[in-house]
Amino acid sequence: MFQFSSAVAAFAALVFFLCYCQWRRRCYKDPLFTEWPVLGMTPPLVYNLWRCHDQITEALQRQGGTGNFIGPRFTQMDSIMTCDPMNAHHIMSKNFANYGKGPAFRKIFDLFGDTLFTSDSDAWKRQRTFLHSLFVKSKRFEKLQEKIILRKVDSCLVPVLDHVVRHGADVDLQDVLSRFTFDVSCSLFLGSDPKSLAIDFPEIECETAFNKAEEFIFYRHIVPRRIEKLQRWLGIGLDKKIDEPFEAFDRFLRETIASRRAEISQEIETMKENDDYDMLTTLIMKGEEHVDDKQLRDNGFTFFIAGKGTITSALTWFFWLVATHPSVEAKILHEIKEENEVKNQVYLHAALCEAVRLYPPIPYVRRQAFKHDMLPSGHEVAPRNVIFLCLYAMGRSEEIWGKDFLEFKPERWISERGDIIHIPSYKFISFNAGPRTCLGKDISFIQMKMMATAILSNYQVHVVEDHPVSPTLSIVLLMKYGLKVRITKRG
């Protein structure tokens, strides 16, 4: 009798649990994946993690552009994912005040410190106003960047690629671009060149730390915080691997800041306003009363992530697309011969936009609601709900780009008059949208166009046959296996 009662009780508990799961499933509008008991939608996501960007894109297309992701029980990982441009416009512009980064975002991105990238409200406004006055209103940094890039092309990029051509060796173009952008970032922000791009491809510890940091932050998005803390306590997990190289770069930044402060305090009377000072020197001189060493370090780390990782990503996918589309390459080369001024290279600009559309350097934008809201798609947003704007999926939306959305077609960006067509930022959100639009958008395009021109006008890039091409699992959309190419000199 006891065994029968126990069996009935167990059966009743199972029925209750299954009914609860079904009820809970119905509480969410447009679930993205099949929900498992206790584990939520994590199993199908983890099973397809190797192609998660495409999997999420396909799921959003099935749900009309917006759906709910349900995380494991007690992990607070439930979220809304969307590639609907009207939702993006609502979140990033129309109801901007109700959506911010939030405390959970700052925990995930704590490596960045307290910066423009992680802050909200008044703290964000103060930093943006200060940085806008320095880097946007003044064209000095744009000119300084051009000077640094031209010098770097002549002294490092051309000698390295010439060496590769002479030896007929395959080279990882993504690694070349990563080293180039790291050196440029160091020169522009810190005023010193670590010379990571050299013929012998030296191992630079702090340069390596960036890719690991980006992978680590992506990992934090998909692993519950409690499991991450347990892994750290046990001395295992990705966060343990990042400690040493990250601390090396952190130390490098802090020592450089301290050294520069000491130099400026001794030479302040002889320093002239119009000198070509790096960003760190300018920040110290202009904001000496408002910017302490921690803020300088935090801004430095953010600048390197933004300047190195995103440009490396955009150019890597661009060169792969151009190398596999000879007709596009021919049009770019024709324009380069006709127009030396990069600002006037319309077709090259369009090709870069098209590469960034298909492979956005930052594939997801995360926001958290402060108050209750209703999205234009009809999805209800509760306070503290997390929303992911899926930029990778937006770039593959037929609604936005038409039936040929998967084609690499720079012409879609060019008007009949030959000008770049303005696409609203909430449809092409790779440089953010609304009040948080990227301050460095223009300067980034200049750098990308200068680098693309320098390489394409002198060399032809051939992708190594059967080289696997897939995105890495990181907050920055790099290639998992790099971009192995054979370089030949143009005649």
Q: Is the pLDDT of residue 67 over 70?
A: yes
Q: What percent of the chain has pLDDT over 70?
A: 82
pLDDT in tens, 40-53: 888 888 888 889 89
**Percent composition of the chain: helix, strand, coil (DSSP 3-state, to 5):** 60, 10, 30
- Give the pLDDT band (50/70/90) at residue 136: low
Better-predicted residue by pLDDT, 212 or 101 = 101
- For the beta carbon of residue 388, count every other beta carbon within 10 angstroms: 19
DSSP class of residue 342 equals G
Structural domains in the chain?
A: 22-489 (1.10.630.10)
Answer whether 53's CB lies under 8 Å from 363's CB.
Answer: yes
Reported confidence tier of residue 259, pLDDT bands at 50, 70, 90:
confident
Gap between the Cα atoms of 133 and 282, Å rounded: 12
In this prediction, residues 373-377 reach a mean pLDDT of: 96
β-partners of residue 389 are 82, 365
Tens of pLDDT, residue by residue over 187-230, are 988 888 889 999 999 987 767 666 666 667 776 666 666 666 66
State which H helix or E strand residue 365 sits in: strand 364-369
Instruction: Give the DSSP letter of residue 419.
Output: P
> Is the model's pLDDT at 343 over the cut of 70?
yes
Residue 265 has pLDDT above 80, yes or no: no
Poorest-pLDDT segment among 236-250, 270-284, 379-393, 418-432: 236-250
Chain centre to alpha carbon of residue 451: 19
Calpha distance 84→407 (Å, rounded): 20
Distance (Å, rounded) from C-alpha 222 to C-alpha 175? 27
349 pLDDT above the threshold of 80: yes
Averaged pLDDT for residues 138-144: 80
pLDDT at 416 over 90: yes
**What is the per-residue DSSP string for 281-311?**
HHHHHHSTTT--HHHHHHHHHHHHIIIIIHH
Under a CB-based contact definition with an 8 Å cutoff, are residues 382 and 335 in contact?
A: no
Can you tell me whether residue 67 is helix, strand or coil? strand
Residue 211's pLDDT is what?
A: 63
Q: What confidence score (pLDDT) does residue 365 get?
A: 93
Identify which of 41, 20, 52 has the alpha carbon closest to the alpha carbon of residue 470.
52
Of residues 30 and 215, more confidence is placed in 30
pLDDT for position 272? 60
Q: Which of 259-273, 303-317, 345-359 has the highest mean pLDDT?
A: 345-359
Helix or strand run (H / E) with residue 451: helix 441-456
pLDDT band for position 23 (50/70/90)?
very low
Of the candidates 362, 8, 356, the one whose C-alpha atom is nearest the C-alpha of residue 217 is 362
The answer to the question of whether 353 is labelled as a binding residue is no
pLDDT computed for residue 71 by the predictor: 83
pLDDT of residue 13 exceeding 60, the answer is no
What is the rounded average pLDDT of the residues 61-65? 94
Side-by-side strand order, sheet with 459-463:
170-172, 484-489, 459-463
**What's CA 364's distance to the chain center, in Å?**
8
In the 8-state DSSP scheme, what is residue 367?
Answer: E
Residue type, 195: K
Distance CA 85, CA 489 (A): 43
Q: Residue 264: CA atoms inside 13 Å, Cβ hemisphere, count?
A: 19
pLDDT of residue 294: 83
Of 18-32, 196-210, 279-293, minimum mean pLDDT range: 18-32
Averaged over 406-413, what is the pLDDT?
Answer: 97
Helix (H), strand (E), coil (C) string for the chain:
CHHHHHHHHHHHHHHHHHHHHHHHHHHCCCECCCCECCCECHHHHHHCHHHHHHHHHHHHHHCCCEEEECCCCCCCCCEEEECCHHHHHHHHHHCHHHEECHHHHHHHCHHHCCCCCCCCHHHHHHHHHHHHHHHCCCCHHHHHHHHHHHHHHHHHHHHHHHHHHHHCCEEEHHHHHHHHHHHHHHHHHHCCCCCCCCCCCCCCHHHHHHHHHHHHHHHHHHCCHHHHHHHHHHCCCHHHHHHHHHHHHHHHHHHHHHHHHHHHHHHCCCCCCCCCCCHHHHHHHHCCCCCCHHHHHHHHHHHHHHHHHHHHHHHHHHHHHHHCCHHHHHHHHHHHHHCCCHHHCHHHHHHHHHHHHHCCCCCEEEEEECCCEECCCCCEECCCCEEEEEHHHHCCCHHHHCCCCCCCCHHHHECCCCCECCCCCCCCCCCCCHHHCCCCHHHHHHHHHHHHHHHHCCEEEEECCCCCCCECCCCCCCECCCCEEEEEECC
Note the pLDDT of residue 38: 80
Average pLDDT of 336-346? 91
- pLDDT the model gives residue 19: 46
pLDDT above 50: residue 25: no
Provide the pLDDT for residue 240: 60
282 closest CA partner among 405, 189, 345: 189
Q: What is the pLDDT of residues 417-437, one digit of tens each?
A: 999 999 999 999 999 899 888
Q: 230: which 2 tokens?
A: 């347990």
Average pLDDT, stretch 28-34?
Answer: 77
Pairing of strands 364-369, 386-390: antiparallel
Percentage of residues in the chain having pLDDT higher than 90: 49
Closest CA to 347 of 360, 330, 359, 361: 330
Average per-residue pLDDT in the chain? 84
Between the two ends of the chain, the Cα-to-Cα distance in Å is: 92
Q: In this predicted structure, what is the pLDDT of residue 108?
A: 74
**Minimum mean pLDDT range among 7-21, 203-217, 306-320, 392-406:** 7-21
pLDDT confidence of residue 27:
47
Least confident of 4-8, 332-336, 477-481: 4-8
Higher pLDDT, 456 or 125: 456
Say yes or no to pLDDT of 475 above 60: yes
pTM of the predicted model, to two decimals? 0.88
